[in-house]
Homo-oligomer: A and B are copies of this chain.
Amino acid sequence: MKIGFYQFRPLFGKTKSNLSKIIKALHNVDADLIVLPELALTGYNFSGREEAVALGEDPEQSMAVAALTQLCRQQDLHIVIGFAEKKQDKLFNSALLIGANGLVHTYRKIHLFNEEKNCFDPGDTPLALQEVKGTKIGMMICFDWVFPEVCRSLALQGAHIICHPSNLVLNYCQQTMLSRCLENSVFAVTTNRFGSDRRPHGEVRFTGKSQIVAPKGKLLHRALSQRQALFITEIDPVQAEDKSMTALNDLFADRRPEFYSVLTACE
């Protein structure tokens, strides 16, 4: 299975030109699954909810989703893309899985970062898996990385690959994703953007360094910080089904959930 990422610099509010850039970059790529950054079409640094709502779209009625579907159909490709998702009076920071027949699944970010809380509604979709050509993928978005429960929940359900659209502004995530892939024995594609969103109300800078990590926490590739990068590599997703650490240890069979009850205690 050929998986990859496209790290680029979306221009704030320029949905059409960002879409064109993506379509041009992915034209004729030899890949099965490409992960794009969080909020790849709209940009990130909204002045507030009003502006975010104005730029958000319903995926069912989005020309961008239609165009990406066409690309997927032509190239037998699946795409995961961060998307400002408008649904009735709600706005979610979402990741869409798009294939040859259109939208396959929407994940709505459950852990919003900083000012996102003033723009988006908290996600309401479960941490669930989707299938891409027989491979099980789980989606999470950016700041979800800091909560070990997210990768863990996806991996325990059988995820081979974690698709992780991001707009990272800090430097902690990339290193921690090595631990996530080690402790869960999964692949992860973290696609970050680079550049900055400079707006009248302030500037947000992004850290690039998109990466693909294999089980055992092995870094397969990490992009530079401030460069556009299209990277594709072939992996064997079945590697993620091997949870052994030693002859007598299995990362999942050795878990003792009867000792973990505080993790799911709701106040």
Q: Using a CB–CB distance below 8 Å, which chain A residues touch chain B? A: 110-115, 117-118, 122, 126-127, 143, 146-149, 152-153, 156-157, 172, 175-176, 178-179, 182-183, 217, 245-249, 251, 254-266
- Bound complex: CA A115 to CA B143 (Å): 38
Is B113 a contact of A249 with CB atoms below 8 Å?
A: yes
- CB <8 Å contact, B217 and A114: no
Select from chain B the residue with minimum beta-carbon distance to A111: B254
24 CB < 8 A contacts A-B? A110-B259, A113-B249, A114-B247, A114-B248, A114-B249, A122-B256, A143-B249, A146-B183, A147-B251, A148-B183, A149-B260, A152-B263, A153-B263, A156-B262, A156-B263, A157-B262, A172-B182, A172-B217, A175-B175, A175-B178, A258-B266, A260-B264, A261-B264, A263-B263
CB distance from A60 to the nearest CB of B (A): 24
Cα-based distance from A263 to B262 in the complex (angstroms): 10
- A251 closest partner in B (C-beta): B146
- Given contact pairs A175-B179, A176-B179, A149 touches B263 in the complex (Cβ within 8 A): yes
Partner of A149, one of B172, B248, B255: B255
Query: Most B CB atoms within 10 A — which of A111, A112, A256?
Result: A256
Complex Cα distance A114/B266, Å? Answer: 35
Q: Please, how many angstroms separate the alpha-carbon atoms of A147 and B182 in the complex?
A: 10
Closest to A125 in B: B259
Tell me how far the C-beta of A207 lies from the nearest C-beta in chain B, rounded to whole angstroms: 15
CB-based closest 8 A-B pairs: A148-B148, A114-B246, A179-B179, A176-B179, A149-B260, A264-B264, A257-B264, A114-B248
Rounded to whole angstroms, the CA-CA distance of A87 and B153 in the bound complex is 36
Instruction: Tell me if B127 and A259 are in contact (CB < 8 A).
Output: yes
Contact partners of A127 in chain B: CB under 8 A: 259-260, 262
A262 to B254 Cα, complex, angstroms: 15
- A182: chain B residues at CB < 8 Å are 146, 172, 176
Closest residue of chain B to A126 (Cβ to Cβ) is: B259
- Other than the known A111-B255, A172-B217, what 11 A-B pairs have Cβ atoms closer than 8 Å? A110-B259, A111-B256, A112-B254, A118-B248, A127-B259, A146-B245, A146-B251, A149-B259, A172-B182, A175-B178, A260-B263
